[in-house]
Structure 1
Amino acid sequence: MLSSDPVFRFAPSPNGELHLGHAYSALVNHGLARSAGGRFLLRHEDIDTVRCTPAFERQVEEDLAFLGIAWDEAPRRQSAHMHDYAAALEALAAEDLVYPAFMTRGEVKAFVENFEEAEGRSWPRDPDGAPLYPGLDRHATTAERERRMSAGERFAWRLDVERAIEMVPALTWDEKGASPVGESGTIVARPLEWGDVVLGRMDVPTSYHLSVVVDDAIQGVTDVVRGRDLFYATSIHRLLQALLGLAAPRYLHHPLILGPDGRKLSKSAGDTAIRALREAGLKAEDIRRMVGLPGRPDQNGPDQNGPA
């Protein structure tokens, strides 16, 4: 059951400096929460404990404070809640919905390119363009799985998506924004398009898909407002919510801030960081205008035609 009070969240990974795309998403979430009389939460998605650092986490909070964004409770740090994700993974395993898969993403890519596409056969790819896992380990015997795991072979826990969709009715979600092709309203979830996604690894009991669903439920998030690049991932999130008995929030996928070349902004590409802009003397209202929001936070909803 969703809370009657609106709850919004901003959930960056502290593995680099926030850029204008992050600023837009954070400002929109904060503004919508305040205009609805609801709560705004900050979550540090730091399950990647190698790339995510306390220094980047502090900078995230400094950048948000500079933008005039305040959160309503102590930030949730994913690395401190691995037990929550492990419990969810165990619940799925108890229903025989996950299995250990021993092919790495690189091996999947090589298998598809060298043995399928090289022979002229097409191979399905997920909405992000990655080849679907061929499912070679899906029907391995328990003895074979235990032998390989005991031998120390690295593996990931993958969702048996075909079995999973047999256990839940047709899934939809309430979309307040618009998809990359303009869909809005009631959207039909299509989790099969993702194949058997990774939900955890041998040393980390979670992945983005699993942790974001668990966190949103635990924190009582009613409205997930995020970029259109995550629109299609919502199909997997709705499936996991149904399997785990979790309430479905409302969704709004907003336009992305793009670079001059039309490319989505990225931390790894070194796109202009908020810290660099403020060190150059820009004010919060300047950054609001740069991302297409009014200089004062009187209006904060996203323009579905895209940021100015």
Structure 2
Amino acid sequence: MVANQSVDLVIKVPKEFSFKENSSYMQRSSNECMFEIRDDKVVKVIPTADNVSLVEISESTDGNLVLRFLGDTYPVNKKVRNEVELYVREWFDLDNDLKPFYEMAKNDLLLQKAIDEFYGLRNVGIPDLFEALTWGILGQQINLTYAYTLKRRLVETFGKSIEWEDRQYWIFPEAKDIANLTVEDLAPLKMTIKKCEYLIGVAQLIVEGSISKSLVMGNGNFKEAENMLVKIRGIGPWTANYVLMRCLRFPNAFPIADVGLHNAIKHLTGAEEKPTKEEILKIAAPWEGWESYATFYLWRFLY
């Protein structure tokens, strides 16, 4: 690494991208510990195979993204810089053409309001599989506020950090950091015993190579990927589809049992009761192939 070097890396974004909408979404919780937003800039540690970079992401005057490597974390190796750029592209789902989604949504009674309000919002993802699975496990059957609390406890107990300008920027624990722990080791986090067991079990599967992004994605068959995930202890259909949506980018991933989705539909339709599964399937019929984005946009009304 080169000390005190600040380098701009420009990432061109598609027309259907709004830095304002995405950063607004990212500020939905004041307890987020994996990045910080200040002065309209996102600051995050991005680890790669051979390097750890602290990156500041901002919007250029022409609407593209500008990356600055902060402190002494500038990677001399071009391969590493490319990996950082790829991470950001994946994080903001920049390589996904949303034109067909917007064409479909503008004629949909629920989604037309969503795309009017949140045009340019991307499915801000979780590129690391272990982090995505962990977030899915932590969020099971609790509210979003407490899920963020559990994540912070996990990260600050078992993760590493970089200090810059008297602030700490955290790196999510790797699977190898969790695989050899016991339930007792995780007890101070104050999550259920079952969640502790699930988390350790997932970490062990990743460490031993039984599960990885490439294995789950396989030949791109959604059902095969879903089946592989639900075979893991602690990963039910909701968690599996959440991970398929936020990490593995399957466009038809659909956490149909999600309470937030139900509440968003109830809110937009003015119904007195939450929709049944059959009603949701009927409503979602026009969304075929875009269920993940439809869900994400509807969530935005609540979160």
Smaller-chain TM-score range? under 0.3
TM-score, with length taken from structure 1: 0.25
TM-score, with length taken from structure 2: 0.26
Going by fraction, where is helix more abundant, 1 or 2? 2
